[in-house]
Chain A
């Protein structure tokens, strides 16, 4: 705690263009506040505070006339910032300044109401003054950081993030559970829209990564536990043995020649097309226990599927010219200290066997679009191919969402198929073709091809025929005709679901996910945010998307973690502080924190991890003992403001309303209402809070006990809260309070929650008027003097 200095407050009225003096009686206010407690100087700035004023104020501050400032009047955000930086240069802490805008509180040039407006201004300045007395100087906090980052998942998204971070000269650890990087994209045949080979792009990015020395790749690894917080995560990784020394193996393939294990050609798709591992060594085609890594040859070292080895066989060990085979390698556990983490764990295909009507898994010539990627493995005599779009997607029995890529994938596959064999006929069964943006070009290209038929319907019946082909019955919804078709091959455009790795890492890192299982985020404001500070998500673990977006999101996520990869992480000082002498370990703060920022300390008290905290103040709102205070809007400061509201300036039948405004949405809406010149009634007083989740029930009780007739709590709309669940928190607490008011024989409507958007200025003013009318009907608050 810093040494308490007796506050000496300067009050400056900015009377630019006589705006203030037109609406209130400055001649009465200035002498009144000159005599107020702790006020050492009270002046009117004629020109709004430019030029001479500025030097004058700085000189006065340096003479020690005051040590904090209350500004009254309208200041634009730029003016505020200039004043703050100028005075900070002179030595005044920016957190020792308070801004009281009378216009926002409904004081305007109304000649008839001048007397009343002066009285309201008096109360408003009292409120701000009460707060100014309690302000504390704050300095940005510095937390130790680490210059390293961990990326989980080495698919395309992960690789691009790794390359970006390595370019920024950060130490990067890449954790991949397969024996090589590359992910799903390495399994694809072609990429739309250029119909290019994905291995080209992957190779390009891998070359980039190979050039840097700061990347450490751990394959066959998974994250098992995480401790610590942003800046200092301690990540435990379990690395399964590869049985081959990564540094010594040069992938010559000698070992494969002697391996006695011969596996039958593994076929994952019933039609015989397979996700065959890329063979590095041309001479070896058969599959054995020791094989090149999969799905790409990076890292190049071979890998042994040890359970397949015959007992006591050590042939590969003897055959290896580089002595790279380590048949007794144990699993290792590694711990990394990193400043931030990036999750790019990708997707899995939806299990198409669940879409029973199309016979996937029962008929050999029904394949998935992922299997269709390996077109070279298709038998040559195909004449007619059917493609079923949205197989399992946009279907309430399967996936509710659109998987975003399947339309383009099918179009791409048709193009590739026609390129190879122009005579083949393609039927595309679809609900809607979705190729947004420039993807339209791909659609038009395919539409123009001969022998490609788009049929707006999904087949009702899929049956095998005697000759091995498939019979389809489909009702074309455009012509209304029933068509009987037969195809050689039926491709199901299956959807994307979050990968198993995504679920696994979500459990380890305790990352919240949405109903579909993808990582949830606040898209417009923090798209890469994972709801856990210092952990960012990218790629398809966030939702179905194409490769282009997966790369973009991963790179943006990489950019977002950079601030955590410094030696010191600067944190805004408006963090919550716990008063442990009041805390009785009820840990409601821990339960309700949307970001999981609270931990237990050695004695079982809650402790804030300042790195994780997003400073919404939800903990302050929830603490039943008022033991938590968010700095710069502490519970004392808010309570002092609430208490300074004196409803007696209005006649008893006129209701007085206290409104708590969320700083993100409701406050800008009110500020805009003032700018638009909408009439904000004199009956309402506004107090801005960082998030409405920070409004403690005790503050509402205070407001009612000190005579406000109603309390309005204005937050963001549902699902738009920057702090995820501020509205939910206040809703539950508000319901508890309302039930209590009911038992006290007070109208529960005296407390009202509302959701506003930033442009809801008019709606807000209308709401205030209707609420005041309602309060008038209710009569005065029984606690009002």
Chain B
């Protein structure tokens, strides 16, 4: 399911030429709208890789879990640490599962 932009939170990366989500998206789907907020221009092409969700410094992006894994209300939320990610998976019954992964390699 395509990424959803919280327009209240999104600051368009302070109106730079390319916001971070635009830079990271492997499908080059993001662009800055006329209101200087990020916008997914081809929602159907999204692969749900969640790169944009992970990189957004304002926490303004959200993707829904593909229907093969969970239906409408299900959510998968990453929280980025310095060298680790925690995932919170909320399924359509509201059941919460959490995972914590430490990245390999050092910070630099």
Residues of A with Cβ closer than 8 Å to B? 579, 582, 584-588, 591, 622, 624-626, 635-636, 638-639, 642, 696-699, 701-702, 704-706, 736-737, 739-741, 743-746, 782-783
Contacts and interface: CB of A to CB of B under 8 A. Distances in A.
B68 interface: no
Given A579-B108, A701-B79, A705-B79, A624 B20 contact: yes
B96 A745 contact: yes
B83 A639 contact: yes
Main secondary structure of the interface of B (DSSP, over half): mixed
A696 B107 CA distance: 14
A588 B86 contact: no
Main secondary structure of the interface of A (DSSP, over half): helix
13 contacts: A586-B23, A588-B14, A639-B83, A642-B82, A701-B82, A702-B84, A705-B100, A736-B59, A739-B9, A740-B59, A743-B77, A744-B79, A783-B86
Given A584-B20, A701-B80, 16 more contacts: A586-B19, A586-B20, A586-B23, A587-B16, A624-B20, A624-B57, A636-B107, A639-B82, A639-B107, A701-B79, A701-B82, A740-B59, A740-B79, A743-B77, A745-B88, A745-B96
Interface centre among B56, B88, B107, by most chain A C-beta atoms within 10 angstroms, is B107
B13 interface: yes
B42 to A, nearest CB: 22
Given A701-B81, A745-B90, A737 B59 contact: yes
B58 interface: yes
A7 to B, nearest CB: 15
Nearest to B6: A739
Contact of A705 (B16, B59, B86, B107): B86
Interface residues on B, range: 20 to 34
A744 B86 CA distance: 10
Contacts of B13: 586, 588
A699 B59 contact: no
B55 interface: yes
A584 B17 CA distance: 11
Contacts of A704: 79, 86
Given A584-B23, A588-B13, A782-B98, A743 B82 contact: no
Nearest to A746: B88
Please list the 4 inter-chain residue pairs (A to B) with the smallest Cβ-Cβ separation, ordered nearest first. Answer: A624-B57, A702-B81, A639-B82, A744-B88
A639 to B, nearest CB: 4
B58 A736 contact: yes
B61 to A, nearest CB: 11
Given A584-B23, A743-B77, A783 B100 contact: yes
Interface centre among B56, B79, B83, by most chain A C-beta atoms within 10 angstroms, is B79
A740 B77 CA distance: 8
Contacts of B98: 782-783
A625 B83 CA distance: 11
Contacts of A579: 108
Contact of A624 (B55, B79, B106): B55
Interface string B17-55: 001100100000000000000000000000000000001
Nearest to A590: B14
Contact of B81 (A698, A739, A741, A745): A698
B55 A705 contact: no
Contacts of B100: 705, 783
Contact of A698 (B19, B20, B75, B82): B82
Interface centre among A579, A582, A639, by most chain B C-beta atoms within 10 angstroms, is A639
Nearest to B20: A586
A585 to B, nearest CB: 7
A737 B9 CA distance: 11
Contact of A626 (B58, B82, B86): B82
A584 B84 CA distance: 20
A645 to B, nearest CB: 13
Contacts of A737: 59
Contacts of B55: 624-625
A731 to B, nearest CB: 14
Contacts of A744: 77, 79, 88
Interface in B69-108: 75, 77, 79-84, 86, 88, 90, 96, 98, 100, 106-108
A587 B14 contact: yes
